[in-house]
Amino acid sequence: MAASQALEVQEKKELASKDEKTVPARYYVPPTDIFETEDSLTVVMELPGVEKQAIDVNVENDVLRIDARIDFTKYEGLEPLYTEYNVGHFARSFTLSNKVDQQQISAQLNDGVLTLTLKKAKEALPRRIAVG
Partner 1 sequence: MATFFDPFDGLLQFQQALDSFRTSGWLGAGPSAGGGYPPINIFRKGDDVVAIAEVPGISKADLELQVLGKTVRIAGRKAVEYGDKASLHRRERLAGRFDRAFTIPFEIDADQVKAECRDGMLALYLRRAERDKPKSIAVA
When the beta carbons of 16 and 131 are compared against partner 1, the nearer one is 16
Beta bridge partners of 100: 120
How far apart CA 64 and CA 87 sit, in angstroms, is 24
How far apart CA 73 and CA 80 sit, in angstroms, is 14
Piece of 16-24, 71-79, 95-103, 116-124 that binds partner 1 (CB under 8 A): 71-79
Restricting to residues 22-41, name those near partner 1 by CB under 8 A.
31-38
Q: Which of 14, 21, 48, 58 binds partner 1 (CB under 8 A)?
A: 48
Spatial strand order in the sheet of 63-70: 13-14, 27-29, 89-95, 63-70, 50-60
Minimum Å gap between C-beta 121 and partner 1 is 17
Residue 49 is a binding residue for partner 1 (CB under 8 A): yes
How far apart CA 102 and CA 115 sit, in angstroms, is 16
Which chain residues interact with partner 1 by CB under 8 A? 1-2, 4-10, 31-38, 42, 44, 46-51, 75, 77-85, 87, 109-113
